[in-house]
Each structure stands twice: as structure tokens, then as C-alpha cells.
């Protein structure tokens, strides 16, 4: 595909719908970020998880700046990232809804659990870029990640 064919929309079309459609064309994994604040577990679903650095070991995710859950979670200064498997699709759909009880059922068999200390947080438009320093890992042998694409959850199929 030529670059000119890829530019079927002009910069005048940079409204929310076009941006969501364009951003949604990039498949991502899905993670459940959790933290204990006082005696309360808190969590949020993210599709913005990314590895940042091996040395030092850093990861990132991007919660909305309006997220009340993240505002409370950051007080803990540490969090866990649970990389979700295909089997977690229904959990992710329920947990992504605002006000959902994300701990009604225990989350089991995450592909990876990455325990982090809050390293940095940077404002970035209507989201924040949260950087965590990895301090411990747990890995599963399950090779089937949950994938988010074009506004929906699905499975990855290796070729």
C-alpha cells in the first residue's frame, strides 16, 4: 500500500471517532493492573501495557487522567500487572466497565504477574504514562494471550 493510499482521511478528520478507529487498528495485549490501598484491592483494565527497558527493568501503562481508580491506586506506590489470557475475555469485558466489582471473582492463571514499584508518572494529554520498576515476576506456560483490537477482545493465532 502506498503512503498516499493510507492517507484517505485528512487532518480535518482528527475527531474522536476517527482517532479511536485508527488507534484501534493496532492489536494490543490486555492487562489487569492492581494495587492494595489500605485494606481495599483496586484494579483497572489496560490495553496500553508495554515493556520499556531491560536494564533497569521497566514497564509502562497509560490510565486516563480522569480515572478515580488510578488516583487511589497511585497512593500505594506499587502495583501488579496481570497479563490476561484468552480465557479471561469475559472477566475483561466485565471489569472494563466503570464501577464494576473487579474483585467479585478471583483472577487466576494470568500469563504473567509483574510486581512493580512506581518509578515515574508523566502527564500525556488525557492520559498519564505510568512507569513501573519491576521487582518480581511470575510466569505461566499458557501461550494464549487475550488481544484487544478494534474495540473488542479476541484471541491471538500464531502462523
Question: Does some domain include residue 41?
Answer: yes
For strand 78-83 and strand 40-46, is the pairing parallel, antiparallel, or unpaired?
A: unpaired
Question: Does some domain include residue 153?
Answer: no
Question: Does some domain include residue 88?
Answer: yes
What digits encode the pLDDT tens for the residues 8-47? 545 567 888 888 888 888 889 999 999 999 989 999 999 9
Question: Does some domain include residue 103?
Answer: yes
- CATH number of the domain where residue 36 is located: 2.30.110.10
Domain count along the chain = 1
This prediction's pTM: 0.88
Sequence-distant (≥ 6) Cβ neighbours of residue 42 within 8 angstroms: 34, 35, 36, 69, 72, 73, 102
Question: Does some domain include residue 120?
Answer: yes
**Cis upstream peptide for 56 (omega within 30°):** yes
What digits encode the pLDDT tens for the residues 85-119? 999 999 999 998 888 899 988 899 999 999 999 99
Question: Does some domain include residue 8?
Answer: no
Q: Which domain holds residue 34?
A: 28-148
Question: Does some domain include residue 118?
Answer: yes
Of 159, 154, 134, nearest to 30 (Cα)? Answer: 154
Amino acid at each position: 500500500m502506498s503512503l498516499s493510499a493510507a492517507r484517505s482521511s485528512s487532518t480535518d478528520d482528527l475527531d474522536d471517532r476517527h482517532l479511536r478507529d485508527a488507534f484501534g487498528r493496532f492489536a494490543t495485549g490486555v492487562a489487569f493492573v492492581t494495587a492494595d490501598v489500605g485494606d481495599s484491592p483496586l484494579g483497572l483494565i489496560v490495553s496500553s501495557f508495554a515493556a520499556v527497558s531491560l536494564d533497569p527493568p521497566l514497564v509502562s501503562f497509560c490510565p486516563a487522567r480522569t480515572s478515580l481508580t488510578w488516583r487511589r491506586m497511585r497512593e500505594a506506590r506499587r502495583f501488579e500487572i496481570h497479563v490476561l489470557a484468552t480465557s479471561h475475555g469475559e472477566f475483561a469485558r466485565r471489569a472494563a466497565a466503570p464501577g464494576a466489582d473487579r474483585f467479585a471473582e478471583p483472577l487466576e492463571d494470568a500469563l504473567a504477574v509483574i510486581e512493580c514499584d512506581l518509578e515515574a508518572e508523566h502527564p500525556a494529554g488525557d492520559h498519564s504514562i505510568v512507569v513501573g520498576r519491576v521487582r518480581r515476576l511470575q510466569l505461566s506456560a499458557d501461550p494464549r494471550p487475550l488481544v484487544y483490537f478494534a474495540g473488542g477482545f479476541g484471541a491471538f493465532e500464531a502462523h
